[in-house]
A = this chain, B = another copy of it.
Amino acid sequence: MWKCDFTIYDMIARNAGLYGGKSAIIYGDKRISFLEYQELCDQCAASLIKEGLTTGDRIAILSGNCEDFMILSGAAAKIGAVMVAVNFRLGEGEIEYILKDTQPKFFFSSNDYKDIAYKVSSAVPSIQKFYVFKLKENEGDFIPFAKLLSADDCAMQQMMFPGSNQAYMIIHTAAVAGKPRGCVLSQSNILAVGLQMASMFELTSRDCHVGTLPLFHIGGFSMSIAVMHQGGGNVIMDRFDPVMVLKQLEKEQGTFFGTFPPMLAAILDAQEKQSINASSLRGVGGMDSPDTIEKFLKRNPKATFYSLYGQTEAMPISGCDVKDKPGSIGRPGIMTRVAIFDDLDQEVPVGEQGEICVRSPSVFLGYLNMEKETAYTSRNGWHHTGDRGRLDKEGYLYYCGRNPEKELIKPGGENVYPAEVEKAVLDHADVKEVSVIGVPDPQWGEAVLAVCVLEKGAELKDTELIEFVASKIARYKKPKHVVFVDTLPKKANGEIDREEVKKIYSGMKWK
């Protein structure tokens, strides 16, 4: 018996045969056809092998979105290299942690992050080479990525087939107890995510996706794969810019984009100020407040807003046209089974609350170097999301917050664990006690609030504390608001009573 495989590179090769001269990737004025895309991946794969990379080796990427990211990901799929996709908004200490955790061999970055990449790599001896996207010529240890796209002979790996169930991409999610967890995803996982999204959003070869989300996140990367499955086009943009999104929608007749707060509101705002024709837009997938979505749909009546729920470990878990069931986060898509479990892993009756659990080929392979956490998350054959929810009789899912031990704040779609922020706040000599919670935020969906008790006699401004935290961890994790209080509510055992803190402070109004 054997198992016939199908990798992301197989999809790229398939598309070259089916869609040939059609644009696969658009970056500024550059258009890469499906045929050219395969050729570039072949070039890059052949060069990487020549430079010493082999199946199973890891490569780190610290970069904004660009077409080179997509080429590198296709080449990695062909030879079975493992991409460590690093969020460029992380602090240096966090990036260093990820590099030590993954031990990459080559480091790829864009020009604006190459110096950070170099600096943090000094403590990671596994890194042998530094490639820089769009660099014109060698600069010290920095090698232009373009040099990997000029191989004479690409035939060498024609018969190389890495396993699609092997590790392909590692994306670190928010730190639990100070340790970011590396989610390991296979090519099969990501192909499944793409298929499920393509089905959920009813994508076809006529779709053109304007890439608003970062490629280092599962959402942005797999959205591009979803569009590719169907032979649609991907417009790649360096970074999110609402006016640029509108201009690309008009120029490329874009039909779809992904969104997390505050992106949709910003686009809506730009639409009010600019006269750009975005009438080709057919759908938007992601999340936002009902108010913003309603305004957006009023302004763009031909578009559908698809609510989407998922996490790096399992994406998408559910989704639907937001109008189908207001308040819900949608239904599980094809090849996705969702159940709600109680603490003993028994399914609860329809309508009751419990932990959202999933079985699907899109569920990740596990946390890197964390066997116990992986075994716990995957116990009894189900992926345990750590989110609480309930199902209705039609299979629609409702989100009911995080499991207490996995409490999470989500400003602008990023994951922030309170424990990590609390640790950084407590590093300040003037702070005696702190409790960090999420509060509603009109712009970002949610914001970080630190409720602090200062040391006797200490004087500290909120802005000082915020900057102090921002110097320690990723800036998006810093508190947006700080409240100084005399005492924090406590439980009988002396622990801070987080639920009580939430009751008292989460309703406060912020300007």
- Using CB atoms and an 8 Å cutoff, list the residues of chain A in contact with chain B: 1-6, 10-11, 13-14, 17-20, 159, 161, 165, 167, 184, 191, 195, 198-199, 229-230, 314, 331-332, 334-339, 350, 358-361, 363-366, 374-375, 378, 380-383, 391, 393-395
Contact = CB atoms under 8 A, between A and B. Distances in A.
B337 A1 contact: no
- How many copies of the polypeptide does the oligomer hold? 2
Contacts of A339: 17
A159 B3 contact: no
A366 B1 contact: yes
A4 B360 contact: yes
Nearest to A392: B17
Given A161-B381, A195-B195, A378-B2, A20 B394 contact: yes
Contacts of A191: 335
A337 B161 CA distance: 13
- Give the 7 A-B CB pairs with smallest separation, nearest first: A4-B363, A18-B395, A14-B337, A1-B365, A17-B395, A161-B381, A10-B337
A142 to B, nearest CB: 34
Contacts of A366: 1-2
Contacts of A334: 195, 198, 229-230
B381 A6 contact: no
B17 A391 contact: yes
B335 A1 contact: no
A374 B159 CA distance: 18
A335 B18 contact: no
A1 B374 contact: yes
22 contacts: A1-B184, A1-B365, A1-B374, A2-B374, A3-B165, A4-B361, A4-B378, A4-B381, A4-B382, A5-B361, A6-B336, A6-B359, A6-B361, A10-B359, A14-B336, A17-B350, A17-B395, A20-B393, A195-B195, A195-B335, A229-B335, A230-B334
Contacts of A365: 1-3
A152 to B, nearest CB: 19
B381 A17 contact: no
A35 B132 CA distance: 55
Residue from A337, A363, A382 with most neighbouring chain B CB atoms (10 Å): A337
Contacts of A230: 334
A363 B10 CA distance: 14
A394 B18 contact: yes
Given A1-B184, A14-B338, A229-B335, 8 more contacts: A4-B360, A5-B359, A10-B337, A13-B337, A14-B332, A14-B337, A17-B332, A159-B381
Given A359-B6, A381-B161, A332 B18 contact: yes
A159 B334 CA distance: 22
A14 B339 CA distance: 9
Contacts of A199: 199
A303 B161 CA distance: 41
A242 to B, nearest CB: 33
A230 B374 CA distance: 31
A364 to B, nearest CB: 8
A5 to B, nearest CB: 7
Contacts of A4: 314, 358-361, 363-364, 378, 381-383
A14 B395 CA distance: 8
A429 B336 CA distance: 60
Contacts of A358: 4
Contacts of A360: 4, 6
Nearest to A382: B4
